[in-house]
Structure 1
C-alpha cells in the first residue's frame, strides 16, 4: 500500500480521537504504514509498540521523525520504516535488536541535520554515490557548499554487559602494548576497549568521503554511542594509541600511521542509552521521548576536529549539540576526559 493511500484510511480518525489531540496527517499516515508493516510479522522487537489501543509514544515518535524526513526527501522516510519492519521473525534475536538501534541512530541524526537552518535552494541526497561507488549517509548541497555526513553506531550489547559485570575496564589500548592485548583477553574480569569499530568507522568514512571532489564545505563522521562517551574519546585522542594521533595503533603495511584526510570532523552523540531505555519503557530522566535531542542544559555531545581537516561550521556543531572536546565547559566532567583505567566499585 502506498503512503498516500493512508490519507483516506478510516483508522486515521480513530488515532486522532484516541490521542485526544491533533495528530498531523503525514505523521498519522506514516504511523499507520508502520503499524501494517510491523504487526504483519509473527515476531518483531517493536510489535508491542505498534499494537497498542492508544498509540505508543515510541511508535508516534518514529512516525513523526520519518514523516519529517519524507517531507524533505520523498520515499526516504518510508524506506526507514521498511528497513526497521524487515528486521523481523527471529524471536528475541539480539542482532536484529542492535540493527534496529543502528537504524534509529541514522534517523536521529539525519532528521536533525535536515532541520538545521540551511540557505535557500539547498538540496538533500540520501546515500549519494561517489566516484568509487561508495555511499555516505547524506549529502547536503547548498548553492556554495557541500556537506557529507556518515552515521555510525557500534554494537554495544555485549560490551555493555561486560562493563556492568567486570570490575576493571580498559577504555582504550594506549597504555597497553598491542602484543599484550591477547593476554588480557583471557582475563574475563577486564572489559577491553571497544576501539576496533571506531577504527573501522574511520576507515569506512574515509573510503566513502574520498570518492567526492574536495569543494568548499566539510565531511563529518557522526558516531552514536551510549553514556560512556569517554570510550570513543579515548579511542580517538588517547595520548598513546589514539586513532587521530601520530602514535596511533592503526598503522599501514609500511609502518606509517593511517590518517583520514577526507574526514574533517567527528561528532560523538551520546544517545544509545535513550534508545534502549525508551524501547524498554524505562525512565528517560532528562529526555521526553525516543528522539528527544536534549535541551540546552542537557549533557552535550562532543566535536573532535581532525587535525588536518577543514573547519566544520558552528551551525552544524550547535545543531547537533556538540561542543569542542577541549572546551572548558567539559573540564570538570570526568566522562568527557580520556580515561586510562576504570575501576568499578
Structure 2
C-alpha cells in the first residue's frame, strides 16, 4: 500500500490516504519519495479550478525520489538511483511526437497527477522514460521544482533559439520568474524584470536582472518601446498586454509560461506592423530536462525554497495560498534518509 495525502473535495484539507497501486508494470519504476515541491498547478487541481479534478486527488508533480523497485523491462535505471519526476509520468513512445523527441507533445502522455496519483506520498510510480537521473552537484532538497518550474522557464530558450545577445524581460518575480531571471542571465542575455514592488526589484537584481521596470509607471513602460526580443510572462492574471507588445523589437515574442485561463485582449493589428509573435510553452521533453539540469548545474542556478515535512502539508498549502512564499515550497519525507 502507498501512503499519501489526498484532497477529497475542492479547497479541502488534505487527509491521510492509502491506495493499492497494483502490480508494477514492465516499464514502470517505483520511487521512494524524498522531496516533493508544491506549485500553483497542485493548488489549482486541489481546488478544481480547471473543472476536471477527480477526487480523491493525490497531487504532486515535482518529485525527487530514490528508485525502490523496477519493472522487468526497465534497463536505464537501477535500485538506489536518485531521479526526478515532473509533470508527465509516461509517454506512448509510438506517436510522431515521441519519435522525434517531443515527448511533452505526446497526445497520450500520462500526467503525473491527472487520472492517477502523484507525489504527495511515500512512494510514487512512473514509466522509465519520464524519470530523469539527477547529476551530482544538484542540491536534492531544492531539485523538485526544477522538474516543473525550472524546465518551464528553460524550455523557451531552446524552443525559440534565444541568442546570448538578446534582450529578455520577465513579468512576475515569483515561483517561475525567479528562475527565469537566473536562466536569462546565465544564457548571456541582457535581463529586465517587470515589477511594481521595490522589494521585488531588489530581489530581481540579486537574481540576475540588469534592469527593472515599474509597470505601474506608464512613462517607464513607454520608455521601453521597441526594446525586448523576448518577454516571458510567468503570471496568471490579466494585464495590459497591448502595452507589453509595444515594448518588443521587430520580430519580438511575448511568450506565456504562466497557466492562465483568462482570455487575452490582443488584436492582430497590434502585432502586424513589427511582425510580433505571441506564444506559450510548458515543461519540456526528457531530453530538454536533461539539458536543463546540466545548464543549472554548470551555472549554479537553483530554486529558492521554503521547506516543510509531509505531515505539515496543510500548513505548506496555506503558506502557498498566502502568496508570501519565497519562492517555492518543498515537502520533505522525514522517514527517508539519503545514504
Higher relative contact order (CA 8 A, sep 6+): 2
Q: TM-score band (shorter)?
A: under 0.3
More strand as a share of residues: 2
State the TM-score, normalizing by the size of structure 2.
0.28
State the TM-score, normalizing by the size of structure 1.
0.27
